[in-house]
Structure 1
Amino acid sequence: MSSFAYVSSELGNVKPETRSIAEELYNVAKAAGREIWFMWGIGTSAEHKTGLALDLMVRNEAAGDFVRNYIWANRERLRLRHVIWEQHITSTVVQPGVRRKMADRGDPTDNHYDHNHVWFFRGSYRPPPSPTPKPPISTPKPPVTKPTVKQRTLYWNKTTMLSGNDVLALQKGLRRVFPLYAGRLVLDGKFGRATDKAVREFQRRAGLKVNGRVGPATRAALRRYGVRL
């Protein structure tokens, strides 16, 4: 995987906050195994001329989905105006949150199938929040062994339908972060056919085994997008 110095070498004279966001996205994607292999910044289009826009080149759909969903999940902190991926634009201004299809421009790059295009509002960069450090313990205490809470595997069973708060959390997370294919999930806490279909689509895009079962591997992948059950 290329260094950030190489990947960002053609950003040009973008705004300082745009460069900081670019580095954050590169590091987050790299940590998740989703490569951003190159970035473009200053350009001739109206948005790129502002120094507040980025083109984030990816090699596959899983990487593009990851980058798009991370940006959208952090849209307020990053001061996002809109993000474009796979010929769809999602704006915080025009029909906020609605993933709208764009006109066909003729080739994969112009239709944003090989990169995310993002445009931000001007403002100081705000880094991701750091975990609050715990105060030092002056007197060591013996470790407390907590009972292990085993999380159940969620899946669709037409005979005995699984339900509960964990299913509801799954539905809410999928609908919030992946509106393209889970935006119409009914939040009823019941693992039905529609939830099974959304889980399988997530697994396919994340490069997981597609079996509709939300076990340890799928839970871990969901957590990378901020979906916790």
Structure 2
Amino acid sequence: MRSFRHWTPRYVVDRTRDLLYTRRNPQAPWLTPQATQILTTMLRPGDRGMEFGSGRSTLWLAARTTHLTSVDDDARWYGKVADELRARRVGNVDHVFAARDVAAERGERSEYARTVLRFADASLDFVLVDGAYRDACALLSLAKLRPGGLLIVDNVGRFLPSASRSPEARACPRGPATPLWSVVAERIAPWRHIWTTNGVWDSAIYVKPYAAAGERG
């Protein structure tokens, strides 16, 4: 049975603000407003990056960077985004379809997650994880980010523990959601990060350090 215990007065306010923001900003990516604003200042026109999970973020990122590789696992959604990219004549996106081909716990072997292995180590300026096999995608992306590069994880509260007020947040005693998320958490522990919430869900931005000490990529 579905629980409505999170429908507190504060959550109702947060949810209403989120709906209003979405209505007023129909082209904004499905990240928290704060994360979107931060990325507006951190992304640069010469950046090259990748996203797992295409959608509104695809057009948004493509407009602000020189090249984007975007992978999706849903054929119908992939076609919809592809049509929009063609209609808008967006030429700097490599749009890839990769179906879910293995079980969730074997995500490191999936064609979807392994799309990032096309890139040389330390060659990407950002990776947005917002699709399937998120733990595997995050883990395989670490070495591909250059020093100073950004790992952006949407709905991060589902996977990594925090003190966030969002209803999907994992309490700190629970630890990371999967063994792979535990590995990711250990490896990005030295990274600077910005955790954002709108009270409904969370988005986090992790910055890969320039110093190699304590970071195994």
Sort the TM-score into its range (normalised by shorter chain): under 0.3
Whose helix fraction is larger, Structure 1's or Structure 2's?
2
Whose strand fraction is larger, Structure 1's or Structure 2's?
2
TM-score by length of 1: 0.25
TM-score by length of 2: 0.26
Compare CA radii of gyration and give the structure with the larger one. 1
